[in-house]
Structure 1
Amino acid sequence: MSKTVTIIDTFGFFFRSFYALPQHLKNSQGFPTGLLTGFTNFISTLQKQHDSDYIVFAIDTKGDSFRKEIDPNYKANRQPPPQELSMQLPIAIEWIDKMGYKTLGFDGYEADDVIATVVRFAKEKSYNVRVVSHDKDLFQLIDDGRVVLVDAIKKQVMDEDECFKKYGISPKQFIDYQSILGDSADNIPGVKGIGKVGAEKLLIEYETLDNIYANIENIKPLGIQKKLLEFKEQAYMSKKLVTLSCSVFESFDFEEFKMDIENPFLNIYDELVKYEQNGILRALNAKNLVHVEAVKKVEAEAQTNKKVNFRAVLIDDAKELKRVLSELRDDTIVAFDTETTGLDYENDSLVGFSFCFNEDEAYYVPIAHFYLGVGEQISQEDAKIAIKKIFNSRVVGHNIKFDLHFVIRFLGEGELDIFADSMILAWLINPESALSLDKLSEKLLEHKMITFKESVKKGETFASVALEEACNYAAEDAYITLRLYYLFLEMLKDQGAEHLIEEAKEVEFPFIKTLLKMEMHGIELNSLFLEQFLAEAKDSLSELTKKIYELASLEFNINSTQQLGNVLFEQLGLPTSKKTKTGYSTDEKVLNSLLGEHEIIPYLLEYREVYKLYSTYIEPLLKLSQQDKESRIHTSFVQTGTTTGRLSSKNPNLQNIPTRTALGTKIREAFVAPEGKKLIGIDYSQIELRLLAHFTQDRVLVEAFMQDKDIHMQTAIALFGEEDAPLKRNVAKTVNFGLLYGMGQKKLSETLKITTAEAKEIIERYFSSFPSVKSYFRSIVDFSKEAGYVETLLKRRRYFDYESASPMFRAAYEREAVNSIFQGSASDIIKLSMNKIHKLIEDEKLNAKMLLQIHDELIFEVDTSEAEILGEKFKNIMQNIMPLNIPLKASMKIGDKWSELK
């Protein structure tokens, strides 16, 4: 399912909220609270609906935008806001940050430009976007269901249909519409004398402003023609003013704006009391979540110690550095952080490092700042000695894997011990919370950290930052890391989850080093093969495009769902369900349903597959392989990227390469073993179903696995009888896995292409055939509701807020509670295996590298002569990593390419 981004037109929403609610709303001290009440109601609604993955609060910054250079009169007539509104605005903005959300604004641009730029990046990732605003300037962003405007006050969604109803034009014509009409509120001149009706008529007939002027001699009546000619310059200047910039910034990390599902109001509890937000307070006091209460308890106990008050100390003298480090002992807890020239450890370098081991001082050691007039710095040799000394103590970092990459390359040594990672602890406390250091600091310590953007000028690196300023920024990172580390230990104890401190020490922290080594190794790519594949893909896309145009009898943008919908359902007249407000759906499900209706459909499906592989995998992978001298690509594994504990990977993502198509398999041909080496793939067999048998002790399941029978065939026999079982094995397989992932009768009917009544009957038959499975699933749900969480094999927890969830989300929580146990426990098992194999490779100095983890499969690179022996060793570890009631089983394949391992 595509992710959703919610972007708030922040000041626009505040103004709208202020005027929508009674302006006499005040607290008992007479302070106006209408805007604040509207804002808290809105956030509460967002939390309850919980249908957004990311949320961005776009704001205007102080100073003029670039539009003032186009026209000095732009927005010159704007009246100052009412005093009651001005009094509440700074409080509301502060609340955004305190609640754990992030604002986004850039000097020289307006919030609308920021919104347009985020929309561009979201569309590149095929995310859905909801822009919360009633500002007509944003209508130009509406796009065929992918981007809609939401009026949060009227609870109204503005899409293409609504745009037509209101203005008589499409969103793509809105810039030209405003260029003609102008806007007196913003001092946009437009074409004087032409109003809404006139602008609408012109655009209906001529479609664009350029086309209007290209046909100016044909325009009637002559009075309209005359006005257009007289104010042509103003029309085109207006177009520049109303056109939103979608290139405010060069890149955008959506993960920084992750929607935090924990209750944001806990962070502003005292202020909610002060401003008498009684509705929200009642809702808060009604909750009784284990982890929320634990957080509140810890915060209450730590209230007197919350103030962040430390001294940032710059160490630019080797003797002073040695003196400070002499205070460290083997058992001293030291928070450590690095500053670098960038995020790519292969090509960027260390600039300095910070450390902290008490609550009074934190230190920054500069080693490679470079700018005119830079002061004294520590030499590389002294810095190396210092880092080794620090790592002889108990080092704690926040996402320390990143720091280790740079430090190990700097030292030229391959092994450093770590003690803890505060980001991992935060994830264990609640795997769905925001994990960035700045968000955790604001949320738990009520301290807003210095941002990277405040310290580093655009286009420069940290090496250009003045030493004193760099010290303040870097020392704060180490200090906050240390504070949070101790706080997290207390939070885990107060949650009744003290066992997870031990789990972190035994499993999660060692896993950091396992992943670190895998990332360093990387995997080799055959660049020549990829170049040929890229050329083939381009040729294929070109041929498919020609064929599609030929069958459609016109040329259009195949990647535009709107244009494709019009071609299929209006030009070609193919059958469709009623057109929705957002236009025709042309997703894969719809196209598959049209197979046989028209010759164009198979070509469209093939085009989409080739285009996705070309743009998402072939081209990016080739570029990455060409940047590395050994043609190896180094993905980054994210240990805390999922709620279940499953690894994710990024830059590039190697876990989502399609597996069921010939083209997906062909991409895997590009991943190869170097000369004299082999790749080994070891894959757990049906690990989640084995866990199902382990947990439920269901007689049929246990017997099937103990006797090494085909589990899907056994399920088919139980469901359909001996005679029909061979033909129904795939149905049984779908049911086996589907029920673990919370598949209901509707989804099962769609997957198997049967009626919902038939799907319902199959599910009922399954649970009657396996009664212990049904009762176990029920026990999971009951426990999750009573305790507020579920636990995996290693007792990692996932929490569920049933109390404040809507009925739809309560049903989702029930499904996720079951899924979390099986996916989470499978993650536990493969994590344990990876740690043990990594230790074996290191301890015995084996000629082997663990390269990738792809769900339940591990991929290794080994010497050809030892492939069979080492493969069996690793497989044996995986099969015997944890004693279960039924045996774990893994299969092994050896080959020269990744494609040969399946």
Structure 2
Amino acid sequence: MKKTITVIDTFGFLFRAYYALPPLKSKNGFPTGLLTGFMNFISNIGRDFQTDYLVFALDSKGDTFRKEIYNEYKSHRPDVPEDLLKQLPVAIEWIEKMGFQIAMEDGYEADDVIASIAKDAKEKDLEVRIVSHDKDLYQLIDDNKVYLFDPIKKTVVNEEKCFEKYGVTPLQFTDYQSLLGDSADNVPGVKGVGAKTAEALIKEYGSLDNIYENIENIEKTRWKNLLVEGRDLAYVSKKLVTLYTECHCIDDIDKYVLPEENPILKIADTLIEYDLNRIITKVEKDGLSYKTSVPKGYEEKTLETKKEIKTEFILLNDEKELLKIVASIPEIAIVAFDTETTDLDVRHASLVGFSFSFEEGKGYYVPIGHYYLGVPNQVSKEVAKEAIEILNKRKLVLQNFKYDYAIIKNQLGIELNLYADTMILAWLLDTSSKVGLDALALKYFDHEMISFKDVVKKGENFSNVDINEACKYAAEDALITRNIYFKLLDEFKEKECEHLIQLAHDVEFDFIYVLANMEENGIKLDVKKLEELKEKNNLHIQELKSKIYSSAGCEFNINSPKQLGEVLFDTLKLPPSKKTKSGYSTNEVVLQKLYNEHEVVPYLLEYREAFKLQSTYIEPLIEFASKDENNRIYTSFLQTGTATGRLSSKNPNLQNIPVRTEAGAQIRSVFIPKEGYKLVGIDYSQIELRLLAHFSKDKALVDAFNNNLDIHHQTAVKIFGEEEAKEKRSIAKSINFGLLYGMGSRKLADTLGISTKEAKQYIDSYFKAFVSVKDYFKSVEDGSLDNGYVETLLKRKRLFDFDSANAMMRAAFLRESVNTLFQGSAADLIKLSMIKIYKEFKNSEDIKMLLQIHDELIFEVKETEVDKITNRLVEIMENIYTLEIPLKVSKSVGLTWQELK
């Protein structure tokens, strides 16, 4: 039977261990997360895999030969976190002290050392296991001889896994990387070639050389042009990614044998200094794990066996026991936390209990406010508050933190400190997927959560639930939230987008506090004016009803599409649109086409607008305002409600009030400030066009913005000439914004009421004037198609499943990729502004942030402070991020929202 040598990609493994575990610290404050992960790995050698020989490969200090090939190689890598840097030399020192062998060669990277050992070991008829998840090592995979082993997932990566993940074989991997490049190492690749294109080219031509030998046969012009332009860098990249195999040999193989004496106990005193006592206890109890027998085929089994979720739900209704347990939790521990309440509306909800989980497979529930006959002992609010204050010093992970934050603040006066929100993390990972707890549990663990409706009877709330049943439901939420958190971290690493974890900590988690504050502030309504509007609009609706009945010659239910269709197309014989099983279509598009066919149609359109005003805005707003003694309404902002990153709002939705209609103006006029305050509106001016100038670097656009020119007038000049520019500015404006949202000639023709041919001429003229823009739009679409995603300004991703899309969906995805880039980047900028404004003014009574309507922020500002505060808001928003062109905002002050326009 072949003997096995295991080669550790030391820095790669240690870096992953650092990010996989929470930021643990010893009692004296020294970081120990990486060290803990490393020692867990050492203690599990033999359980996770068996080996005859073991060696740790390290990078040499200083530059390697690759720097001579390409000076920019690895030049753009971000700084390594200080906590990680502190632990690395300690871990390497431990390796040597434990009696393991290190392999390192001057001028070469660890990957070259690993490649050399793998080559030499194969020649000596050894099986080679490489402990790493680094894709650069995939080129070494050679089934039954060399394979990778992921120590965190405990899975083997072989030729099949390589092909499954990248669509190429290990032998083709360096050619694949030569085309694709590697942003992490600053390997250039061929500019414009993404993963899908690289895979397709390798599949068709087999190798880089063969691609260039057949360059004239490549049908796609874009691919051919990119390859021709990028030929030199492709071959430079090939040299950079190809591992050197002659820098290290293992002739004295016996020195790589595993130490006879327990290596962990050799450094026991040092481990105690770093508070890693558990590792020692584990080893003393279980002995040397690599001396125990492991069933043959263990690794293959770990690939196939589904891990059942361990669940233990513990009821904590004894106050002393509760305080004892929470006090025992290490301050560096990740603790999942959740609340149970009587209502989804935080302003009317009472706290019934809370749950938490800080160790694998265990969830605890603390009952506080259950009310039913025979309810057992519960924990008082005072003790609950004491326990939560202790938990608040740990690293709290929640699912939908904003809700629990408001509950705990309202009920107990504690402001929770968030470490991570799993809902936000899941959304960042895939903005189009479901991010609810039930959906995530099913997606990642194939686990069906206990259903709320199975626990809470109809007409009752959580306070009526038996506390033992409540324990199962609530503790499961905390336990699964904790599991999902660690699973999501793994997913970010697997998908090579750990930067999104940093984005969450830098921006998205802070933004939750901003939204919670806005929801708490609410906005005041002029209820008297609303009541007057209601009465006036109701009379208008009755008048329109009479006119419709008179014009139609009969009475019918105007709100019934079926009855309306019969009246219009059967009774009045108007030319119908296509008839379906449910009857004639009577939507707005159909009615607009019939506008001049009969006098009843304009009345119907006017009736629909008046009815919508009454039912969608006036009546709900009166109902919401009447619930509050100050007549303020409190919308809920959804951070994960859109795929682009824009906010949405609900209960009520204040982001869809029409801007340009009379109905919208009437509604906005009832939003007012409180006594002694004014409303202030700050609106980013032409933010998406400015982003277009920034991204495309089109000279005409950049110059126009840098010289503070009217961009719509400048566009009109470019398309229509100086003489017609003034009168055709509105057309230019439609083109400017329309192209950002994928508007084609047909849509532009409908918008402007012109022929498609004329609209196409306008668009062609636009692209001639702004020469870089068309190419830039194309590059965004191509990048989205190649990579399967588009990134915003802050590198937030939106994924697109082109592989399963039909032609129509594919076209929609391409439009949405452009749309997302600009809308999403605008959303990034306003988020940054909102966070900075919130942090600066959160303790001030002179200003409250009330609403965000996409590019506009609305504040309630003390009258005496309006000028000073408004100037500061403008300063913050215009300087929040440095673009190629200046950011500009417009400001307005008024006594109603409508006055801000």
Counterpart in 2 of 1:818? 818
The structural deviation recorded for 1:597 is 3.1
SS in 2 for 1:882: coil
- Counterparts in 2 of 1:61-100, with a 5 A limit? none
Task: Describe how 1:330-409 pairs up with structure 2 within 5 A.
Answer: 330-409=331-410
Q: Which amino acid aligns with 2:434?
A: A
| Deviation string, structure 1 residues 400-442 (Cα, Å, up to 9, x no partner) | 11111111011134x3321110000000110011111111101
Query: For the Cα contact (< 8 Å) 2:742–2:815, is it kept in 1?
Result: yes
Aligned residues of 1:745 and 1:763 also touching (Cα < 8 A): yes
Q: Distance in 2 between matches of 1:809 and 1:829?
A: 29
Aligned pairs (5 A) from 1:438-837: 438-577=438-577, 579=579, 583-837=583-837
> Shift in Å at residue 486 of structure 1?
0.8
Offset at residue 308 of structure 1 (A) = 1.1
3-state SS in 2 of match to 1:459: coil
Structure of greater Rg: 2
Q: Which moved more, 1:748-757 or 1:443-452?
A: 748-757
Structure 1 position 760, deviation (Å)? 2.0
- Alpha-carbon offset, residue 739 of structure 1: 0.9
Displacement after TM superposition at 1:287 (Å)? 8.6
Q: Counterparts of 2:555 and 2:596 in 1: how far apart (Å)?
A: 22
How many pairs are equivalent?
A: 612
**Structure-2 change in CA distance of 1:668 and 1:780 (3 Å):** same
SS in 2 for 1:351: strand
User: What does residue 313 of structure 1 align with?
Assistant: 314
Contact 1:640 1:647 (C-alpha < 8 Å) held by counterparts: yes
The amino acid of 2:851's aligned partner reads: L
Name the amino acid aligned to 1:523: I
Cα displacement (A) at 1:582: 5.2
One-letter code aligned to 2:887: L
2-structure distance, mates of 1:389, 1:345:
23
- Mapped to 2, the partners of 1:285 and 1:890 lie a distance apart of 46
CA contact (8 A) 1:312 1:475 kept: yes
Deviation at 1:591, TM superposition (A): 2.4
| Structure 1, unaligned runs of 5 or more | 1-282, 292-298
Residues 582 and 469 of structure 1, relative CA distance in 2, 3 Å threshold:
closer
Structure 1 residues 300 and 899, CA gap change in structure 2 (3 angstroms):
farther
Classify the secondary structure of the residue corresponding to 1:723: helix
Report the CA distance shift for 1:441/1:523 in structure 2 as closer, same or farther (over 3 A).
same
TM-score normalised by length of structure 1: 0.66
The answer on whether the counterparts of 2:408 and 2:416 sit within 8 Å (CA) in structure 1 is no
Give the match for residue 417 of structure 1.
417
Whole-angstrom distance in 2 between the partners of 1:710 and 1:901: 21
Q: CA offset at residue 585 of structure 1? A: 3.0
Counterpart-to-counterpart distance in 2, 1:896 and 1:596: 40
What does the per-residue CA deviation read over 1:797-841, in whole Å, with 9 as the maximum and x for residues that have no partner?
A: 011121221011111111111111111100000000000000001
User: Given that residues 421 and 509 in structure 1 are in contact (C-alpha distance below 8 angstroms), is that contact kept between their aligned partners in structure 2?
Assistant: yes
Matching residue of 1:105: none
Distance 1:702 1:581, change over 3 A: same
How far apart are residue 713 of structure 1 and its match?
A: 1.2
- Return the alpha-carbon distance in structure 2 between the equivalents of residues 826 and 507 of structure 1: 14
> Is the 2:367–2:378 Cα contact (8 Å) retained in structure 1?
yes
3-state SS of paired residue (2:656): coil
Shift of 1:558: 1.3
Query: Match of 2:894?
Result: 895
Aligned counterparts of 1:518 and 1:370: Cα–Cα separation in 2: 32
2 CA distance for matches of 1:425 and 1:578? 45
| Cα pair distance change 1:300/1:370, threshold 3 Å | farther
Mapping of 1:854-893 within 5 angstroms?
A: 854-893=853-892
One-letter amino acid matched to 1:901: L
Quote the Cα distance in structure 2 between the aligned partners of 1:867 and 1:306.
Answer: 60
Amino acid at match of 1:488: L
CA deviation profile, 1:783-804 (whole Å, cap 9, x unmatched): 1121111100110001112122
User: 1:857 is aligned with what amino acid?
Assistant: E
Deviation per CA, 1:319-353: give whole Å up to 9, x if none: 10111011223322110000001111111211000
State the AA in 1 paired with 2:527: S
Letter in 2 for 1:540: H
CA, structure 1 residues 285+321, in 2 after alignment: closer, same or farther (shift >3 Å)?
closer
Q: Which runs of 5+ in 2 are unaligned?
A: 1-162, 169-193, 197-299
Letter in 2 for 1:848: I
**Contact residue 441 and residue 449 of structure 2 kept, 8 A:** yes
Contact kept, 8 Å, 1:351 with 1:463, in 2: the verdict is yes
Look up the equivalent residue of 2:853 and give its one-letter code: I
**Is the partner of 2:584 in helix, strand or coil?**
coil
**For 1:659 and 1:602, how far apart are their aligned partners in 2?**
21
Tell me if the contact between 1:335 and 1:481 (Cα under 8 Å) persists in the aligned partners.
Answer: yes
Give the Å deviation of 1:599: 2.4
Cα separation, 1, equivalents of 2:373 and 2:452: 21
Counterpart of 1:883 in structure 2: which amino acid?
T
Aligned to 1:312, what secondary structure does the other structure show?
Answer: strand
Q: Is the 8 A contact 1:802 1:810 kept in 2?
A: yes
How much has 1:477 moved relative to structure 2?
0.2
Shift in Å, 1:578: 5.7
Alignment-mate amino acid for residue 705 of structure 1: F
**Cα drift, residue 657 of structure 1:** 0.8
Instruction: Give the SS at the match of 1:420.
Output: strand
Query: In structure 2, do the counterparts of structure 1 residues 719 and 884 end up closer, same or farther at CA, with 3 Å as the change threshold?
Result: same
Q: Is the 8 A contact 1:335 1:395 kept in 2?
A: yes
Counterpart position of 2:219: none
Q: Conserved in 2, the CA contact under 8 Å of 1:525 and 1:672?
A: yes
CA displacement at 1:300 relative to structure 2: 11
**Matches of 1:327 and 1:794 in 2, distance apart?**
39
Over residues 192-214 of structure 1, what are the superposed CA-to-partner deviations in whole Å (9 max), with x where a residue is unaligned?
xxxxxxxxxxxxxxxxxxxxxxx
Would the aligned equivalents of 2:640 and 2:647 in 1 still touch at CA under 8 Å? yes
| Corresponding residue number in structure 2 for 1:20 | none
SS at match of 1:520: helix
Whether contact under 8 Å (1:352, 1:367) holds in the other structure is yes
Q: Using the alignment, how far apart are the partners of 2:303 and 2:533 within structure 1?
A: 59
Which stretch shows the higher mean deviation, 890-899 or 561-570? Answer: 561-570
> In structure 1, how many angstroms separate the alpha carbons of the residues matched to 2:622 and 2:721?
51
Contact 1:287 / 1:804 at 8 angstroms: preserved in 2? no
CA shift digits 1:878-900 (9 cap, x unpaired): 11100000011111111111111
Query: One-letter code of the match for 2:504?
Result: A
Q: Counterparts of 1:300 and 1:604 in 2: how far apart (Å)?
A: 68
Q: CA deviation at 1:581?
A: 5.6
C-alpha distance in structure 1 between counterparts of 2:577 and 2:490, whole Å? 56
Write the mapping of 1:255-334 to structure 2, written as runs, cut at 5 A.
306-334=307-335
CA contact (8 A) 1:712 1:733 kept: yes
Secondary structure class of the residue paired with 2:743: coil
Q: Is the CA contact (8 Å cut-off) linking 1:544 and 1:607 kept in structure 2?
A: yes
Distance 1:890 1:509 in 2: 26
> Greater CA deviation, 483-492 or 765-774?
765-774
Give how far 1:285 is off: 9.6
User: 1:716: how far off?
Assistant: 1.2
What CA distance in whole angstroms lies between the structure 2 residues aligned with 1:728 and 1:435?
Answer: 46
Cα distance in 2 for residues equivalent to 1:642 and 1:513: 19
CA contact (8 A) 1:290 1:495 kept: no
Which one-letter code corresponds to 2:383 in the other structure? Answer: D
Would the aligned equivalents of 1:287 and 1:803 in 2 still touch at CA under 8 Å? no
300-309 vs 554-563, greater mean Cα deviation: 300-309
